[in-house]
Structure 1
Amino acid sequence: MNITEEELEIFSRQLILKDFKEEKFNELQKKEISIIGLGGIGCPLAQYLISAGIKKLNIFDGDTIQKTNLNRQTLYSIHDIGKKKSTIAKKKLLGTNPNAVINSYNHKIVKDNLHLLKNSSIIIDASDNWETMRLINKYTTKKNLPLLSISVVGFDIQMILFENTTHNHLCLECIFPNHNEPELARCDTVGIMGTAAGLAGIISAQKAINFLLKFNEKNNILTLVDVKLLSISHIKTKKNIDCKLQ
C-alpha cells in the first residue's frame, strides 16, 4: 500500500519515529477496528486511532448527543445536541483523515448484528452497560477475535485486552463471573471526571496499536489507573477453570 502525498504530510511527525517507519504505517492501515460506544472513552479513542493512520473504522452507538455529554465526549459541541453520536463522530473523524473508510451505525450492538464485527482486527468495547459487555465478550470468545475492554467511573480507569486465542482462554466472565448490571457503578449516579475518560481513550488507542503492530504488548493483564492519585497498577489474571465460555 503506497502512502499518498497528503498522508505523508498529515502523518509526517509519526513516520519519523524510530520504531514507526513506513512499513509499520502500511501495516496499521490494513487493520480494521470496531469501536462499541462513542462516549467519553470512544470519542478520544476514535480520534487518536484515525490520527495514527487507521484507515478502516467501524463505530457503533445508538444514542443522541446531550448536554451532559459535553464535559468528556470530545467529538461533540453544543451545536450537536439532539443529533446521532455516530453520525457526528463520522463527520468529525473524516475531517481529520478524509482518506479513512468509516462505517457508522446508529444503533447499539445486539445479538442480531454481531456479524458486523466479524472482520475486525480488534474490537474495542467502550460501552457503558454490562449486558452489551457480556454479549460482546461471548461473541469474541467464540470467534477468537481480540477484545479490548475498557471502562471509567469517577476517577478510575479499568482496562484489559483479551487475545482470545484457541489455546489460551481468558475472558471477561473469568474475571467477573456472575456479575449483574445493577451492581456496576455508573457515571450518571457516581459521576465521572472528563480527564479520566480522555486518558482512558488515549491509553486504549495506544494499547490497540501496540497489539496490532506487536510492540511487545503484554495482554491478559488488568490495568487500573487512578487519575486523582496519578497511579497505575497491573494485575495478573488467569482463566477460570469453571468459566462457561471456555
Structure 2
Amino acid sequence: MNDEQLLRYSRQIMLPQVDIEGQERLLSSSVLILGLGGLGCPAAQYLAAAGVGKMVLVDPDAVDTTNLQRQLLYCADDQGAAKVAAARVRLLAVNDSIQIETIHGRLEDEGLLEQVRKATVVLDCTDNFTSRFAINAACVRSSVPLVSGAAIRLNGQLTVYDRRQSDAPCYRCLYDEQSNENLSCSESGVLGPVVGVIGTMQALEAIKLITGFGKTLNGRLMIFDAMTMEWQTVRLQADPECPVCGQA
C-alpha cells in the first residue's frame, strides 16, 4: 500500500481484526455482486469504500422511478440508464482506485460459472428463486463463499453459504426448486431502510470472509423484523440428500 491508501483506510487498519494484512487482502480481492437493486446498492457502496480491489457488477435492468425510494446509488437523472453503468459512476466517485467491471444482462450457465470462479466472494442480491438457485449451484461447484440476502415488506434475512466447510449447508438445502413463492417489491412492497440494513450486513459478511476475522453466518440464518426491531437466528444444517451439495 502507498501512503494515500494507508491514510484512506486508516480507521479500519487500526482495528486489530483487520490490520495491514487484512487491508491487503481486501485490496487484492474480487467481489461478484449479482443484482444492483435495494440490496446490491448499499453492499457495493460499503465494499467500494472499504477498498475491495475489484468488483464485478451484474444487473440486466435500467433505473426506474420506483427504484429511487430505496436504491440510493441512483438519482432522478439516472432514470432510463443501465443500473450497472450508473452504479459504476457513483462507486468510482466514492473510490476511484478500485476496478469496476460491469455486465448489463443476466449471467447464466457457463458465463455465470466463469465469473463465480474468478471471485473471492459472491453476493446474491437478486430477487427471484431461479437466479438464487443458479448462483448457489455455481458457488458450490466452485467452492466460492456466497453471501445471500433477501428483503420484502418489513422483513429481511441474511446468511452465508460457505461450502469450504464440508458440513455447511447450501441454499438448495433450505429451499425446494418447486417453490413458486417469488415475491416481488412491485407486488408486495418494501421499506427502504430494510433493504439498506440487509445489504449493509452483506457487505460486512463479505469483508469478514475476505479478511478472515470473526465468525461469519455460515450455518446460521438471521431474520430481521422491522416492525418489532427484533432479530432471530436459526441454525441451518446441510441436507445429506441435497441434489446440489449432498454428494460433494
Instruction: Give TM-score scaled by structure 2 length.
Output: 0.93
The residue type paired with residue 213 of structure 1 is T
Residue 164 of structure 2 corresponds to 165
Residue 54 of structure 2 corresponds to 56
Residue 239 of structure 1 corresponds to 238
Identity rate of aligned residues, in percent? 27
The residue type paired with residue 237 of structure 1 is L
Residue 3 of structure 2 corresponds to 5
Residue 155 of structure 2 corresponds to 156
Q: Which is further off, 50-59 or 11-20?
A: 11-20
Instruction: Give TM-score scaled by structure 1 length.
Output: 0.94
Residue 189 of structure 2 corresponds to 191
Q: Which is further off, 118-127 or 166-175?
A: 166-175
The aligned runs of 1:124-163 (5 Å cut-off) are 124-163=123-162
Cα deviations by residue, 1:67-107 (Å, 9 ceiling, x for unpaired)? 00001101000000000000111111111111101111111
Displacement of 1:7 in angstroms is 2.0
The aligned runs of 1:4-153 (5 Å cut-off) are 4-114=2-112, 115-153=114-152
| Residue correspondences, number | 243
Q: Which runs of 5+ in 1 are unaligned?
A: none
Moved over 3 A (4+): none
CA distance in 2, matches of 1:165, 1:90: 31
Matched, 1:220 2:216: no
CA distance in 1, matches of 2:150, 2:52: 22
Q: Secondary structure at the match of 2:156?
A: strand
Pairwise CA RMSD of aligned residues? 1.5
Q: Which runs of 5+ in 2 are unaligned?
A: none
CA distance in 2, matches of 1:49, 1:179: 34
